Amino acid sequence: METRELTCVVCPAGCKITVTLEDGKITDITGQTCPRGKTYAQNEVTHPVRTLTTTVLMDNAAGGAKTLPVKTNKPLSKGLLFAAMEELAGYTVTAPVAVGDVLVKDFMEPGIDLVACKTVK
């Protein structure tokens, strides 16, 4: 038997959740105070994901902006985050760009896009 202690990050309450596993399968989840916490714990143990938020380099911006805040429109597999940051290290966006613009379609995983978080002219 194995136990994993988690802090639910779905809302600010930060419930402490204990997941019990046997032979790699979840047998019990305790400590959550709502169903969202149970779903979070199941996903965190079986397939952890995170929304990537970062900045990329810009050129040609009218106001002289050097960086653009970006994020993935859906959470990526947690194991891909470092590779995603490496991928973006050499990536440059050319202005103009509008908030919500898809900068990279199918970024790292099919169905996940990298989008702009700010309008820059």
Up-side HSE of residue 47: CA atoms within 13 Å toward CB?
4
Beta strands 2-7 and 25-30: pairing type?
A: unpaired
CB of 11 to ligand SF4, least distance (A): 3
Instruction: Answer yes or no whether residue 4 interacts with ligand SF4 by CB under 6 A.
Output: no
Site string for ligand SF4, 80-109 (x = CB under 6 A): ------------------------------
CB of 41 to ligand SF4, least distance (A): 8
Instruction: Answer yes or no whether residue 76 interacts with ligand SF4 by CB under 6 A.
Output: no
Q: Give the number of residues written for the chain.
A: 121
Token match 């978080």: residue?
117
Q: Dihedral of the CA atoms 87, 91, 93, 94 (nearest 10)?
A: -150
Instruction: Answer yes or no whether residue 16 interacts with ligand SF4 by CB under 6 A.
Output: no
* Complex with ligand SF4: residue 11 or 89, whichever CB lies closer: 11
Cα of 60 vs its chain's centroid, Å = 28
How far is residue 93's CA from residue 116's CA, in Å, rounded to a whole number?
Answer: 10
Stretch of residues binding ligand SF4 (CB under 6 A), selected from 6-14, 44-52, 69-77, 93-101: 6-14
Site residues for ligand SF4, 21-50, by CB under 6 A, read: 32-34, 36-37
3-class DSSP state for residue 48? coil
Cα of 113 vs its chain's centroid, Å = 11
Q: Which residues bind ligand SF4 (CB under 6 A)?
A: 8, 10-11, 13-15, 32-34, 36-37
